[in-house]
């Protein structure tokens, strides 16, 4: 994913004026200069300079190794706020394709903070351990997250909004493991699973359907939410998406 961002997506999105389903202004003037200068600096630093001292094979090898480390780091950071039983997984309404909760309430319920009392974790993750605040205030500098976290707690308690926190990284990993174990032990009908695989692979893609709606709607068709193996479906859906690039599943 990171490699695709660096080498393709940034240019593609800038030319299209879109990022996923969202319109973005195409860079012009000063912004275009900053964008191109940044890309030239990146390619010079990542590939150009190393090629003066090392063969291409070694440069590509260590670039790939660096990307694997970056992907692993991102994964280890994001599984705690999003991949445990403490975070919720709401499904859009079938008719409207909308989430019933208000935007701010939704952000609180689908994210979990972790290690908020650790300045080291805050520094290493760039404030992503305050993940609830990261979702609620994406334009705010992360150095302010520790100051506003208590205020967010008070507001949530005042209005009865569920909010959670992993007090340590180990407890967060344990919660993630319990969640995976629970999903893996969920019962599902093998006949429905077989139909679901055929459904994912053969249904004609519709580009206007977002990834979130695509996965949620497909999950609703394949089986009842409480019985279907969400882990299996998640891996299957991501594989289908990566295999068909911009393919999307749309259920009438």
Rounded Cα gap, residues 67 and 79, in angstroms? 18
Considering only residues 40 and 19, tell me which one the structure prediction assigns the higher pLDDT.
40
Rounded Cα gap, residues 138 and 12, in angstroms? 23
Q: Rounded to the nearest 5°, which phi and psi values hold at 113?
A: -75, 160
116-163 tens-digit pLDDT: 888 888 898 888 889 999 999 988 889 999 999 989 999 988 888 888
pLDDT for residue 60 = 92
Average pLDDT over residues 26-46: 88
DSSP state of 176: H
> Measured on CA atoms in the order 232, 234, 237, 239, is the torsion positive or negative?
negative
Q: Name, in order, each residue with C-beta under 8 angstroms of 81's C-beta and a sequence gap of 6 or more.
A: 87, 111, 112, 113, 114, 128, 131, 132
The chain-wide mean pLDDT, for the chain, equals 75
pLDDT for residue 213 = 52
42-72 tens-digit pLDDT: 889 889 899 999 999 999 999 999 988 888 8
Q: Rounded to the nearest 5°, which phi and psi values hold at 24?
A: -130, 145
pLDDT tops 60 at residue 244:
no
Say what the alpha-carbon torsion angle 94, 95, 97, 103 is, to the nearest 10 degrees: -100
């Amino acid at each position: 994913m990171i490699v695709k961002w660096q080498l393709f997506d940034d240019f593609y999105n800038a030319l299209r004026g879109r990022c996923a389903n969202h319109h973005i202004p195409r860079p012009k003037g000063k912004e275009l200069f900053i964008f191109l200068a940044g890309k030239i600096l990146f390619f010079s630093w990542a590939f150009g300079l190393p090629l003066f001292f090392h063969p291409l094979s070694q440069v590509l090898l260590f670039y790939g190794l660096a990307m694997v480390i970056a992907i692993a780091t991102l994964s280890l950071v994001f599984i705690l706020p999003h991949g445990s039983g403490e975070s919720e997984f709401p499904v859009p309404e079938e008719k409207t394709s909308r989430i019933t909760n208000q935007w701010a309430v939704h952000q609180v319920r689908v994210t979990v903070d972790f290690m908020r009392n650790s300045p080291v974790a805050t520094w290493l993750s760039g404030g992503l351990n305050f993940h609830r605040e990261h979702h609620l205030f994406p334009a705010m500098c992360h150095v302010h997250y520790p100051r506003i976290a208590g205020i967010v707690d008070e507001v949530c308690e005042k209005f009865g909004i569920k909010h959670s926190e992993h007090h340590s990284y180990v407890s967060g990993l344990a919660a993630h493991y319990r969640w995976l174990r629970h999903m893996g032990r969920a019962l599902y009908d093998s006949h429905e699973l077989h139909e679901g695989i055929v459904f994912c692979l053969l249904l004609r893609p519709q580009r206007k359907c977002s990834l979130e709606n695509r996965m949620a709607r497909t999950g609703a068709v394949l089986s009842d939410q409480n019985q279907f193996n969400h882990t299996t479906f998640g891996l299957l859906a991501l594989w289908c998406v990566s295999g068909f690039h911009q393919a999307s599943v749309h259920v009438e």
